[in-house]
Homo-oligomer: A and B are copies of this chain.
Amino acid sequence: MEITKKVLEGNVRTVSRLIRNLEDGVPEARDTLKKIFHHTGKAHVIGFTGSPGAGKSTLIDAMITEVRKTGKTVGVLLVDPSSPFTGGAILGDRIRMQRHSTDPGVFVRSLATRGALGGLSKAVGNAIHILDAMGKDYVIVETVGTGQQEVEIINHSHTVIVVAIPGMGDEIQAIKAGILEIADIFVINKADRDGAGKLYQELMYMLNMADGFPGGWRPPIIKTENMFDTDSFRKSLIELVDTIDQHYKNLVDNNLLGNRIRRKATLELTEALHSAILDPVLTKLVESGEMTQMADKVLNKTADPYTLAEEIAKKYLREL
């Protein structure tokens, strides 16, 4: 109870420990999560995605500054499930973002842990609930790329922002390949670069081809120049924050917020079922040595993994 209370009060140390304990699979941490669950649902969850080097962290960093001027509070989750090959530059930006962490209205946390129990998407979902329960008005989730895992992560958001930059020929192809459906707002960052006009035209063309938009929300395209401390950069950030708020209002006005929350709920149920059904069976098989015996059979070619798995299912699963 004490821990729950501290989380709701926004105690940074308690929250940090809780997130870590959840990642480590500490049972008490899950009990806390159950207790705080009905205190969640107040935060506006915003997902940022886009290729490495698109300047997402810098953008979020500057956006925090703007949001804080309005008195609203921000929680940030930085997720990097993708290659550590692309980690260098990102890390630098993220370290810079930590400067906000002396501000009690800002909570920044990295979830780069590769081995998070039950998958990174679950860890992110849990962390969002905690930042929500601790009273943050905005919870921002930053992730790189759009692989399956990243899309799952971004599905925890109410508003999804896709950040693109000019001069990477394959951007549009990528956006076509799967982000159009998830993007609520496009940002063309580093819009002072060559090719920004072309990128804008291509995005417009792509949006023109779309078959209508839910709630009439046609994803706006915002240009940012990523030049710190200039008036034009500040102006574009204010535009971004305004647009994010408008998108939330559009979801609420058109009864679409429920769909987003339902999508997240279904995703979380699936992840929770993985933990509650599959994980105990795997643990049992490993601890009893049965997994090793089965692996032996597969090695000797006396059995195949598919038939063995079906036998285990018959043993542990009741009639459906």
Interface residues of A (CB under 8 A from B): 30, 33-34, 37-38, 40-41, 50-52, 81-89, 114-115, 120, 144-150, 168-171, 173-174, 177-178, 258, 261-262, 265-266, 268-278, 280-282, 284-285, 291, 294-295, 298-299, 301, 304-310, 312-313, 315-318, 320
Contacts and interface: CB of A to CB of B under 8 A. Distances in A.
A316 to B, nearest CB: 5
Contacts of A304: 33-34, 37-38
A286 B53 CA distance: 39
B34 A147 contact: no
Contacts of A85: 50-52, 145-146, 168, 170-171, 174
A277 B86 contact: no
A72 to B, nearest CB: 23
3 closest A-B pairs by beta carbon, nearest first, are A88-B170, A83-B145, A272-B309
Tell me how many chains of this kind the complex includes: 2
Contacts of A114: 147-148, 178
Contacts of A275: 306, 309
Contacts of A315: 318
B34 A284 contact: no
A231 B269 CA distance: 58
A34 B146 contact: no
Contacts of A87: 170, 173-174, 177
Contacts of A145: 82-86
A169 B265 CA distance: 41
Contacts of A40: 301
B269 A86 contact: no
A146 to B, nearest CB: 5
Contacts of A271: 305
Given A149-B147, A278-B277, A304-B37, A84 B173 contact: yes
A318 B316 contact: yes
A263 B309 CA distance: 16
Given A38-B304, A299-B261, A318-B316, A178 B84 contact: yes
Contacts of A149: 147-149
A266 B268 CA distance: 26
Contacts of A261: 299
B34 A306 contact: yes
Contact of A83 (B51, B273, B310, B318): B51
A275 B308 CA distance: 12
B317 A146 contact: no
A282 B270 contact: yes
**Considering residues A37, A40, A50, A147, which has the most beta carbons from chain B within 10 angstroms of its beta carbon?**
A147
A315 B319 CA distance: 10
A318 B317 contact: yes
A65 to B, nearest CB: 27
